Amino acid sequence: MDLKTPDYVNDNPEQNDLWDKKYLLFLSGITAVFDGFKALDLENLGILHNELRVVIGPNGAGKSTMCDVITGKTRPTTGTVWFDGTEITKKKEDEIVRMGIGRKFQTPTVYDSLSVYENMELSLPGSKSVFKTLIAQNTKVERDRIMHLLERVRLADDADTEARYLSHGQRQWLAISSLILSQPRLLLVDEPAAGLTDAETELTGELLLELKKEHTLIVIEHDMDFVRQLDSRVTVLCEGRSMAEGPLEQVKNNPEVIEAYLGR
């Protein structure tokens, strides 16, 4: 099985018993229809194990809806979602989280009145409530893991700082770092660079590239410089459809893409 040259279009999970070894996530025949409006219409979309896939597309293209379908927030109208060989189309959100799919929303979930460290503690596997987390003693291994992750995003010195004092970029990194504590196999990251300074954007890119070594990632983004930095396979969504897929340099020269998105 050649992971470098996947045959994206012809893969049919029902006809190919190797697909689940190759893809961590596979969407097949997915549509999401809201009041007669087709927000999503994806024929086949496969994400390889340890791939970092960037999904770009204009506002309203269906990017967030795609994340909603993968995470069980929205039930697709038709089609199937497979995760690591298991169909997850009809599973509940919390079940999908436990199976190993984590999501960072456009507006990150961070508790303002808790410190950076306490925010991380809340995401330790097994901690379900603020109360339970605050009275529990972390093991040394847990503390080390938290501090290691905070160092990576340059937040270690702010471990005791209340999250309300963090910059927008620092909040994004805290949200991503706390997601990683639960060791998801697939990470969905919705617009991590939105509203960040250039320096923060660059550090975010470095962080995502580093995460790619241990995780499979889908990054939703529209900042082109940032997408270039990620140097990964790009899927262009437009009006719910996958309009093009390939390296950025290739898709950005696709006339259909230029007209629909980049040329606007």
Q: Tokens standing for 264?
A: 């606007």
Q: What is the total count of residues that contact Mg ion (CB under 5 A)?
A: 2
| Contact partners, residue 132, CB within 8 Å, separation at least 6 | none
Q: Where are the beta strands (DSSP E) in 116-204?
A: 186-190
Q: Which is nearer to ligand ADP, 57 or 72 (CB)?
A: 57
Which residues here bind ligand ADP, judged by CB under 6 A?
34, 39, 57, 59-65
Window 46 to 105, contacts with Mg ion (CB under 5 A)? 63-64
Q: Shortest gap between Cβ of 248 and ligand ADP (angstroms)?
A: 18
Distance CA 38, CA 25 (A): 22
Q: Shortest gap between Cβ of 180 and Mg ion (angstroms)?
A: 22
Distance CA 241, CA 38 (A): 10
Residue 59 touches which member of ligand ADP, Mg ion, none, C-beta under 5-8 Å by kind: ligand ADP
Q: Shortest gap between Cβ of 64 and ligand ADP (angstroms)?
A: 3
Distance CA 78, CA 40 (A): 10
Residue 108 touches which member of ligand ADP, Mg ion, none, C-beta under 5-8 Å by kind: none
Q: Which is nearer to ligand ADP, 22 or 222 (CB)?
A: 222
Distance CA 147, CA 156 (A): 6
Dihedral, 54, 58, 62, 65 alpha carbons, nearest 10: 70
The secondary structure of residue 262, as a DSSP letter, is: I
Q: Shortest gap between Cβ of 62 and Mg ion (angstroms)?
A: 9
Q: Which is nearer to ligand ADP, 28 or 65 (CB)?
A: 65
Q: For binding to Mg ion (CB under 5 A), which residues are involved?
A: 63-64
